[in-house]
Amino acid sequence: MSTDFIERVNTANEAIRHLSEIEEIDIATAPRETVWEDGKVQLYHFIRDTPPSAKTPVLISYALVNRWEMMDLQPNLSFIRKLLEEGLDIYLIDWGYATGIDRYKTMEDYILGDIHECVEFICRRHELEKINLLGVCQGGTFSLIYAALFPELIKNLVTTVTPVDFREENGLLFLWAKHMDVDAIVEGFGGVVPGDFLNSGFDLLKPMNKARKFSNLPKVASNKDSLLNFLRMEKWVADSPAQAGETYRQFIKDFYQKNKLIKGELMMGGEKVDLKKIKMPVLTVYAKDDHIVPPSSTIPLHDVIGSKDKELLEFPGGHIGVFVGGRSQKLLTPAIAQWLIDRD
């Protein structure tokens, strides 16, 4: 027992020291510039020290749920910094924070409007006919739709932890969404669905995670790096933007409830979205232990696209681990970069 006591006192000592030293919890520190903007939406170009080894730039389309900063939480474990280090030229769309004025913003506005304008801008800037598109989670679903509608503008497509098949057997979110009255929710929240509402749903997927997280806090706090990483993650989790009501309504109804994308029934801007029209090389990254977008909702993409050059890449971890953590740095990010460089 005395050893236990001593360990705990030492842990407390370290926590005191580390907490005293923390002045700011900084995330998203990779240098960048805004090269295009339209209202709240901004296109960032990440600044490189050296010329890229691949001539085709990559546009990252993140989800509307939560913020893109997760891909650059801390300098030594940053997905974006690693892609830069591997020789890629990176652009990223920051969707901003939806407010009341965005309540009627639709998926068409995001995909046919914002993504399309960003793609065109980058094409013009680099005098290229096509660029690479990398989609993350819901942003991956958007990327698929875009690539199916504008295949002539996309050279290579990478989807990461992207839901494609929304059958309810695929997991709790898929089941719950089937029983959700999305009209009542959008109307009740005045057309803008709060981020906290979404987060409460994500929390329930692993209801004891908060207890585990805080239970482990003394150990985490005894190491400055761990403590800072913990606080960075907390900052990111809490920074959860609201959802434009019309887009949320459409995403729940057409995707989660009617599974239109994989059935080939989805309409976008008056056109049917046919995934067979995706013929460019496609890399599908999924996480083996993903409880938010399980592999069973991601892998079916492989069978429904028209591409001959297509690859499935399994990451041994969870949804967030794809972008944060040592395994992502060592295994996944270099593999994605190499796949793109090989097809440059």
Partner 1 sequence: MKTNIDSIIEGQKKVFDLWAETTKNMAGTLAGGLPKDSGKEYWDEWVENQKKYWDAIINRDNLQNAFQGSPDEMRKWAEAQTEFAKKWMEFYNENTGKYGFKNPGFSIDNTGMKSWQQWMEQNNPWIQQNITKNLPFTQQWNLLNYKDLYESFTHYWEYLSKMIEFGMTEWDAIGRFVTPDAYREMVGKFMGYKPAKNVDELIKQTNEVFEKNIKLFNQYQVNKDWPEQWSKMTHAFLEGHPAASYTTLMEINQNINHGIDKFYNLAGQGREVEIARILKDIQFTYIAFIIRSLELQNKVFEVSQPALSKTLEILNKEYQANKTAPDFQVFFNQYINNLEGSLLNLMNGAEYATLQGELSKLAATLKGKMDKVFEMTLEGTPFLMKSFSDEVAKEMAALRKRIRDLELRLSKVDHPVAKAKSKTTAKS
The span from the CA of 320 to the CA of 2, in Å, is: 39
Nearer of residues 17 and 288 to partner 1, judged by Cβ: 17
Give me the least distance between CB of 306 and partner 1, in Å please.
21
Give me the least distance between CB of 334 and partner 1, in Å please.
30
Nearer of residues 31 and 190 to partner 1, judged by Cβ: 190
Give me the least distance between CB of 156 and partner 1, in Å please.
17
Q: What are phi and psi of 157, to 5 degrees?
A: -125, 130
In the numeric block, the tokens 């395994």 are attached to 327
In the numeric block, the tokens 């805004």 are attached to 34
Cα angle 339, 82, 90 (rounded to 5 degrees) comes to 75
Residue 123 annotated to the active site? no
Q: How far is CA 106 from CA 112, 142, 216, 302, in A?
A: 10, 12, 41, 27
Adjacent-strand bridge partners of 59 = 91, 133
Nearer of residues 199 and 302 to partner 1, judged by Cβ: 199
DSSP one-letter string for 83-125: HHHTT--EEEEE-----GGGTT--HHIIIIIIIHHHHHHHHHH
Q: Choosing from 28, 63, 92, 137, which is the catalytic residue?
A: 137
In the numeric block, the tokens 């399309």 are attached to 116
Give me the least distance between CB of 203 and partner 1, in Å please.
8
Nearer of residues 104 and 338 to partner 1, judged by Cβ: 104
User: Which positions are catalytic?
Assistant: 137
